[in-house]
Amino acid sequence: MKPILVTCAFAASMLAAPPIVIQNATILTVTKGTLTGSVLIRDGKIAEVGEKIAVPADAKVIDASGQFVMPGIIDCHSHIAADSINEGSVSVSAMVGIEDVLNPADIAIYRALAGGVTTANVLHGSANSIGGKCTVIKLRWGKDAHDMIFQGAMPGIKFALGENPKRAGNPTGQRIGAGNVPPRYPATRMGVEDVIRQAFTDAKAYQQSWKDYNEKIARGEQALAPRRDVTLEPLVEVLEGKRLVHSHCYRADEILMLLRVADDFGFKIRTLQHVLEGYKVAKEIAEHGAGASTFSDWWAYKLEAIDAIPYNAAIMTKKGVIVSLNSDSAELMRHLNDEAAKTMKYGGMTETEALSMITINPAKQLMIDKRVGSIEVGKDADITIYDKHPLSNYAKVTKVFIDGQLYFDRDNDLAERPLREAEKKKLVDKEKEQQRRPTPGAQRRPAA
Amino acid sequence: MRTLTFAILLSVPLLAGQDDSFLIRGATVHPVAGAEIQNGSVLVRDGKIVGVGRNLAAPKGTRIIEGKGLHVYPGMIDSGTDIGLSEIGSIRESVDVGEIGKFDPQLRAEVAINPSSEHIPVTRANGITAVITLPMAAGGDGGGRRGGGGGSIITGQAALVHLDGWTWEEMEVKKSAAMAMRFPTIVSGGGRFGGGDLPPDIAARFSYTEQKKNYETELRELKEFFEQARRYQKAKAAGGKDFRTELKMEAMLPVLEGREPLVVMASRERAIHDAVQFAEQQKVKVIIADPRELGKMGPELKARNIPVILGPTLALPAQEDLPYDSPVTLPGDYFKAGVKFAFGSFSGNNEFSRNLPYQAATAVAFGLPYDEALKAVTLNPAQIWGVGDKMGSIEEGKSADLMVTDGDPLETKTQVKQLYIKGKSVDLDSKHTRLYQKYLNRP
Q: What is the pLDDT of residues A71-96, one digit of tens each?
A: 999 999 999 999 989 998 899 999 99
Task: Choose among B321, B436, B442: nearest Cβ to A311.
Answer: B436
What Cα–Cα distance (Å) separates residue B273 from each residue in B5, B78, B137, B264, B331? Answer: 50, 25, 20, 11, 18
Contact call for B321 and A282, based on CB within 8 A:
no
Burial class (CB in 10 A: 0-12, 13-18, 19+), B378: buried
Contact call for residues B374 and B340 (beta carbons, < 8 A)? no
Q: Chains A and B: how many Cβ contacts under 8 Å? A: 117
The distance of B374 to chain A (nearest Cα, Å) reads 13
Contact criterion met (CB below 8 Å) for B380 and B340 = yes
Global pTM value: 0.92
**B324–A110 C-beta distance less than 8 A:** yes
The single-letter DSSP state of residue A142 is T
In the predicted structure, residue B421 carries a pLDDT above the cut 50: yes
Whether residues A330 and B350 touch (CB distance < 8 A) is answered with: no
- In chain A, the percentage of residues whose pLDDT exceeds 70 is 91
- pLDDT at B195 > cutoff 70: no
pLDDT at B270 (0 to 100)? 92
Contacts B364 to A, Cβ<8 Å: 393-394
3-class SS of residue A399: strand
CA distance B91 to B96: 10
| pLDDT < 50 stretches in chain A | 1-9, 12, 444-448
**Taking a contact as any Cβ pair under 8 Å apart, which residues of chain B between 163 and 192 contact chain A?**
192
List pLDDT tens digits, range A18-69: 999 999 999 999 999 999 999 999 999 999 999 999 999 999 999 999 999 9
Chain B residues within 8 A of A345 when measuring between CB atoms: 412-415
Q: In the prediction, which pLDDT does B144 show? A: 35
Cα torsion A382, A388, A390, A391 to 10°: value is 170
Q: Taking a C-beta distance cutoff of 8 angstroms, is the pair B131, B170 a contact?
A: no
Query: How far apart are the CA of B251 and the nearest CA of chain A, in angstroms?
Result: 32
Could you say which DSSP state residue A20 is in?
A: E
Residues of B in contact with A332 (CB under 8 A): 314
Distance from CA of A363 to the nearest CA of B (A): 25
Average pLDDT over residues B68-94: 95
**Distances from the Cα of B240 to the Cα of A194, B178, B232, B236, B289, angstroms:** 72, 30, 11, 7, 39
CB of B208 within 8 Å of a chain A CB? The answer is no
3-state secondary structure of A255: helix
Closest CA to B182 of B72, B267, B241: B267
User: How many Å apart are CA B292 and CA B26, to the nearest integer?
Assistant: 42
Question: How far is it, in rounded angstroms, from Cα A345 to Cα A347?
Answer: 6
Angstrom CA distances, B420 to A377, B16, B133, B405, stand at: 51, 9, 20, 12
Q: Classify residue B87 as exposed, middle or buried by CB count within 10 Å of its CB (0-12, 13-18, 19+).
A: buried
Mutation to test the B interface, candidates A295, A307, A394, most B Cβ within 10 Å:
A394
Q: Which of B93-102, B120-129, B389-398 has the lowest mean pLDDT?
A: B93-102
- Contacts B118 to A, Cβ<8 Å: 300
Annotate A261-323 with DSSP letters as a single string. HHHHHT----EEEE-TTGGGGHHHHHHHT-EEEE-SS--SSSGGGTT--TTHHHHHHHTT--E
Count of Cβ atoms closer than 10 Å to residue A83 Cβ: 12
- CB-based contacts of A413: which residues, under 8 Å, 6+ apart? A114, B323, B324
Each residue of B312-345: pLDDT tens digit?
Answer: 999 999 888 899 999 999 999 999 999 999 999 9
> Does the pLDDT value for residue B128 go beyond 60?
yes
Instruction: Please identify among residues 348-387 of chain B the ones whose CB lies closer than 8 Å to any CB of chain A.
Output: 348-352, 354-355, 358, 361-362, 364-366
DSSP three-state, residue A128: coil
Task: Give the number of other Cβ atoms within 10 Å of residue A93's Cβ.
Answer: 23
Beta-bridge partners for A75: A120
Q: Which residues of B touch A298 (CB under 8 A)?
A: 351
Residues of A in contact with B314 (CB under 8 A): 331-332, 334-335, 338
Phi-psi domain of B127 (left: phi exceeds 0; alpha: psi -120 through 50; beta: other): left
Q: Does B442 touch chain A if contact means CB atoms closer than 8 Å?
A: yes
pLDDT at B1: 40
Say how far apart CA B278 and CA B230 lie, in whole Å.
15
Containing A340, the helix (H) or strand (E) segment is helix A336-345
Q: Does the CB of B413 have a partner CB in chain A at under 8 Å?
A: yes
- Evaluate if residue B159 carries a pLDDT over 80: yes
Bridge-based pairing of strands B341-343 and B308-310 is parallel
Whether the CB of B193 is below 8 Å from some CB of chain A: the reply is: yes
Which of A79, A106, A107, A327 to mutate against chain B (most B CBs within 10 Å)? A107
Lowest mean pLDDT among A175-179, A355-359, B164-168, B410-414: A175-179
State the smallest CA–CA distance between residue A210 and chain B in angstroms. 43
Strand pairing class (A383-386; A68-71): antiparallel
Q: Which residue among A282, A300, A347 places its CB closest to the CB of B119?
A: A300
Q: What pLDDT is stored for residue B347 in this prediction?
A: 87
Provide CB contacts within 8 A for A12, sequence distance 6+.
Answer: none
A342 interaction partners in chain B (CB closer than 8 Å): 412
Q: What is the ipTM of this complex?
A: 0.91
Binary contact (B314, A335; C-beta < 8 A):
yes
Q: Which residues of A touch B322 (CB under 8 A)?
A: none
Q: Is A156 helix (H, G, I), strand (E, B) or coil?
A: strand
Smallest CA–CA distance, residue B227 to chain A, in Å, is 39
pLDDT at position B208, please? Answer: 80
Residues 48-67 of chain B with CB under 8 A from chain A are none
- Distance, in Å, from the CA atom of A141 to the CA atom of A147, rounded to the nearest integer, reads 10
Q: How far apart are CA A161 and CA A163, in angstroms?
A: 7
**Closest residue, chain B, to A303 (C-alpha):** B88
Partner-chain contact B432 A303, CB within 8 Å: no
Given this model, what pLDDT does residue A441 score? Answer: 54
- Which of B349, B362, B439 lies nearest to residue A301, judging by beta carbons? B349
Cβ proximity of A27 and A36 under 8 Å: yes
Interchain proximity A300–B316, CB inside 8 Å: no
Choosing among B93, B324, B328, B431, which should be mutated to test the A contact, i.e. which has the most A CBs within 10 A? B324
- Chain centroid to CA A111: how far? 15
B90–A297 CB contact, under 8 Å: no
- Measured between beta carbons, which residues in chain B are less than 8 angstroms from residue A311? 432-433, 435-436, 440
Q: Which has more confidence, B89 or A109?
A: A109
